[in-house]
């Protein structure tokens, strides 16, 4: 491979995998959880675990890091990763999990089965998993990962040590983004870093993927490039749209919304998410902020259940504008 080819970021490697922490002490932004996990590893005495939290905050990374520290170079022989969203049925529990659990192995007291997106498992599959956890508890440890622990049945939760992961702090994401940029020889502006942190919203995976996508052009990674490549509206655009609606100028607010949806190609659901994140930046009185949040929640629910995105967003702006005129 020529030097020219190597200089093209993203062609030969996925930065998300290249810069994934290999050990627990390399995981950033989850200090309390890492400290608890390290105590388990030091004693080589894992319990069943349930990792709950939003996407991109280190749940899978911590699971792999535990396996690497316990099993060394041969960690993959003792670590089975399954994705419940791909294999939702009870068969995955009865067949693949049991097959792995029954396989003979030496040198270690137990193996690890990591079940990602466990909240996608059906109730029947979770019941089968509970029985499997009991049956093979002498030589297998389960690590279940989910976004919503409320979707995991109580008998499984009671058998697990629960770790609740939180969104990563902005400082941790900015630090990692700058480190990767230095390693890859990518020039970044400060506003480019801030834009990636905003786009990520506590999700390290989104930040790294956004950086790699923005760097492919070979130009300096700045705010404009980040927002364009990630199809994200600038915070000031969202703020201006809502400010116009709050001032009673529905026509101008609707024009801003049309530009975001049509010219910039931003999905209605993403506009809702950004509105929700920006409510407290509009300098509203508490009562007005509460009303706005209530309407954002209603629009989000309707869009989620299949309503037309544009109609719901325009209705949201119209409702805010009418409040001002009354």
Burial class of residue 104 in the structure, from the number of CB atoms within 10 Å of its CB (0-12 exposed, 13-18 middle, 19+ buried): exposed
pLDDT of residue 231: 82
pLDDT exceeds cutoff 60 at 1:
no
pLDDT exceeds cutoff 80 at 206:
yes
Banded pLDDT at 257 (limits 50, 70, 90): very high
pLDDT of residue 11: 44
Banded pLDDT at 104 (limits 50, 70, 90): low
pLDDT exceeds cutoff 70 at 183:
yes
pLDDT exceeds cutoff 70 at 324:
no
- The percentage of the chain sitting over the pLDDT mark of 70, rounded to a whole number, equals 91
pLDDT exceeds cutoff 80 at 103:
no
pLDDT of residue 135: 83
Torsion of CA 243, 245, 248, 249, to 10 degrees: 100
pLDDT exceeds cutoff 50 at 6:
no
pLDDT exceeds cutoff 70 at 127:
yes
pLDDT exceeds cutoff 60 at 164:
yes
Least confident of 35-39, 221-225, 277-281, 301-305: 277-281
**Architecture in CATH of 169-229:** Orthogonal Bundle (1.10)
**CATH fourth-level superfamily of 30-164:** P-loop containing nucleotide triphosphate hydrolases (3.40.50.300)
pLDDT of residue 274: 87
pLDDT tens figures, 211-246: 998 888 767 898 888 888 888 888 888 888 988 888
Give the Cα separation of 326 and 70 in Å (integer).
65
Residue bearing tokens 């790699």: 212
pLDDT exceeds cutoff 90 at 204:
yes
Q: Read off the tokens for 160.
A: 């697990």
* Domain residue ranges of the chain, discontinuous segments joined by +: 30-164, 169-229, 235-325
Domain spanning 235-325: which CATH class is it, in words?
mainly alpha
């Amino acid at each position: 491979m020529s030097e020219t080819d190597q200089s093209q970021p993203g062609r030969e490697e996925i930065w998300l995998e290249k810069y994934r922490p290999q050990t627990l002490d390399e995981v950033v932004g989850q200090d309390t959880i890492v400290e608890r996990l390290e105590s388990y590893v030091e004693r080589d005495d894992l319990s069943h675990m349930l990792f709950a939290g939003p996407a991109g905050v280190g749940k899978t990374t911590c699971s792999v890091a535990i396996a690497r520290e316990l099993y060394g170079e041969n960690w993959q022989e003792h670590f089975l990763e399954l994705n419940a969203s791909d294999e939702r049925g009870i068969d995955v529990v009865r067949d693949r999990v049991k097959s792995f659990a029954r396989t003979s192995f030496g040198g270690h007291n137990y193996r690890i089965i990591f079940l990602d997106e466990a909240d996608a498992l059906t109730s029947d599959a979770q019941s089968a998993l509970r029985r499997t956890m009991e049956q093979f508890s002498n030589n297998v440890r389960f690590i279940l990962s989910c976004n919503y622990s409320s979707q995991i049945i109580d008998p499984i939760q009671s058998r697990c040590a629960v770790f609740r992961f939180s969104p990563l702090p902005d400082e941790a994401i900015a630090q990692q983004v700058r480190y990767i940029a230095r390693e890859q020889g990518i020039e970044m502006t400060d506003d480019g870093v801030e834009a990636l942190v905003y786009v990520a919203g506590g999700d390290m995976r989104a930040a790294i993927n956004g950086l790699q996508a923005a760097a492919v052009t070979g130009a300096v990674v700045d705010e404009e490039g980040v927002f364009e490549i990630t199809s994200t509206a600038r915070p000031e655009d969202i703020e201006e749209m809502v400010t116009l609606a709050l001032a009673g100028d529905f026509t101008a607010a609707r024009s801003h919304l049309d530009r975001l949806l049509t010219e910039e190609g931003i999905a209605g659901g993403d506009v809702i998410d950004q509105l929700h994140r920006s409510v407290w930046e509009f300098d509203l009185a508490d009562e007005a902020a509460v009303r706005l949040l209530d309407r954002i929640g209603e629009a989000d629910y309707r869009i989620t259940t299949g309503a037309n995105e544009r109609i719901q967003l325009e209705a949201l702006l119209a409702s805010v504008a009418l409040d001002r005129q009354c």
